[in-house]
Homo-oligomer: A and B are copies of this chain.
Amino acid sequence: MAVGQCDFPIMHAVKGIKLGTSNAGIKQTQRDDILVIEMADTGCCAAVFTQNAFCAAPVLIARDHLTQEPRWLLINSGNANAGTGKQGLQDAFASCASLAGEVEGIAQQILPFSTGVIGEPLPVSKLTAALPAAVENLHETHWDRAARAIMTTDTFAKGASLVIEIAGCPVTITGISKGAGMIQPNMATMLGFIATDAKIEPALLQQCLSAAAETSFNRITVDGDTSTNDACVLLASGCSDAAEILADTPEYAKFAAAITTVCKRLAELIIRDGEGATKLIKIVVEQAQTSAEAVQVAKTIAHSPLVKTAFFASDPNWGRILAAVGRSGLEDMDLDKIEIYLGTVCIVENGGRSPGYTEQDGQRVMNQEEITVTVRLGRGEAREEVLTCDFSYDYVRINAEYRT
């Protein structure tokens, strides 16, 4: 049910980054559910994590290990190791320790990530039994396997890759993501693993990732639910021949823009694969007083089940969009200044339906697979975008049957 073009792209290998997968049978599937990523010892690592107050055990461990110059990521799908209390923490750490034994590192150099059902104990022995095979097939070209190994309800593997030039030398940025439901801003309710061969200091790498996540993963929503496990990691191996990227330089700006491009694509792919999604909807809010205000209005629209079911039905029921703007909580909103557009068709102005609007015009836009809704608040100059999808029978089916 993916919306639009979602083919897995050509993934450029990243010097100093190897990926290995294996099948631990965590959720009784035949496909690989373990991913190990190894980075050369010249590299550094940045990460952003879920803002859910109840972080899953692996998130707590990963946050802790992030300060220990990590060199390996250990990801499993099928079990989230969330809501598992102290045992969950022990299990996550034990998994790291097992991998450390395989790669001759120490447990603290490993960041663990888990995605899947909440509240079931992590099957540590199954997981550790599968580690030797994953380590054995570590290779720079295994991005496609890696993307598949981290899938849960995803219907396709998600990747993005590009090569830029820094001072005459190529720098590669390649990443994968997973996520299809429980997608809500702050932090992006998904997993994302992005790697580059750039040389860059850890603090600057973190600044770059935080900024990129803010305008990509934190601007998407399927259902308003924030998971306990979301995380996005950016590895920089330092193996490129390009000179080190320094703060406040044109090279940093170029690098940061490229990281943002990859993050935005990985985020958009998650929405295109939104559970049951039949449409990709971009909500643009313009003329807000502040960026936060624009995001607030955009998310209120994006989370409205009434708006989302109307999109599913291709029904230009603009009254529901207007009502969502009205309950978004902004003070002193002036209805008479607000304009709402479906695509390029003005549907609301001067406090009511636009005089030139016809149902046919609205229907024409609604029939499209990718739709932009633009709201102009007429009270400032800030502009923000949020990506979402519609709400279909299949959303209910997928989430009603998830565990059965």
Contacts and interface: CB of A to CB of B under 8 A. Distances in A.
Contact of A319 (B80, B320, B322, B333): B80
A170 interface: no
Interface in A325-370: 325-328, 330, 333, 335, 348, 350-353
Contacts of A391: 305, 396
B228 A395 contact: no
Contact of A309 (B184, B350, B399): B399
A54 interface: yes
A324 B83 CA distance: 12
Contacts of A225: 304-306, 320, 323-324, 327
A351 B53 contact: no
A283 to B, nearest CB: 16
A119 B396 contact: no
A391 B327 CA distance: 21
A182 interface: yes
A70 to B, nearest CB: 25
A87 interface: yes
B85 A317 contact: no
B119 A54 contact: no
A322 B85 CA distance: 12
A318 interface: yes
Contact of A395 (B84, B305, B325, B399): B305
A313 B393 contact: no
Contacts of A312: 396, 400
A88 interface: yes
A53 B326 contact: yes
Nearest to A52: B326
Nearest to A319: B118
Contacts of A223: 304-306
Contacts of A315: 400, 402-404
A54 B400 contact: no
Interface in A383-404: 391-393, 395-397, 399-404
Contacts of A309: 395-396, 399-400
Given A304-B225, A396-B392, A396-B393, A351 B320 contact: no
Contact of A323 (B228, B325, B333): B228
Interface residues of A, number: 65
A181 interface: yes
Interface in A176-206: 181-182, 184
A240 interface: no
Contacts of A350: 85-86
Contacts of A313: 399-401, 404
With a 10 A CB-CB cut-off, give which of A228, A323, A353, A397 has the most chain B CB atoms. A323
A224 to B, nearest CB: 7
Nearest to A226: B327
Interface string A287-311: 0000000000000000111100110
A217 to B, nearest CB: 15
Interface string A82-116: 11111110000000000000000000000000000
25 contacts: A53-B325, A53-B326, A53-B335, A54-B322, A54-B325, A54-B326, A55-B326, A80-B319, A83-B323, A83-B352, A84-B353, A86-B351, A86-B352, A118-B317, A118-B319, A119-B317, A181-B306, A184-B327, A226-B323, A228-B322, A305-B395, A313-B399, A315-B404, A393-B397, A396-B396
Given A305-B399, A310-B402, 12 more contacts: A53-B325, A53-B330, A54-B326, A83-B353, A85-B353, A117-B319, A226-B327, A309-B396, A310-B399, A312-B400, A313-B404, A393-B397
The 7 closest A-B pairs by CB, nearest first: A118-B319, A85-B352, A54-B326, A313-B400, A309-B399, A119-B319, A226-B327
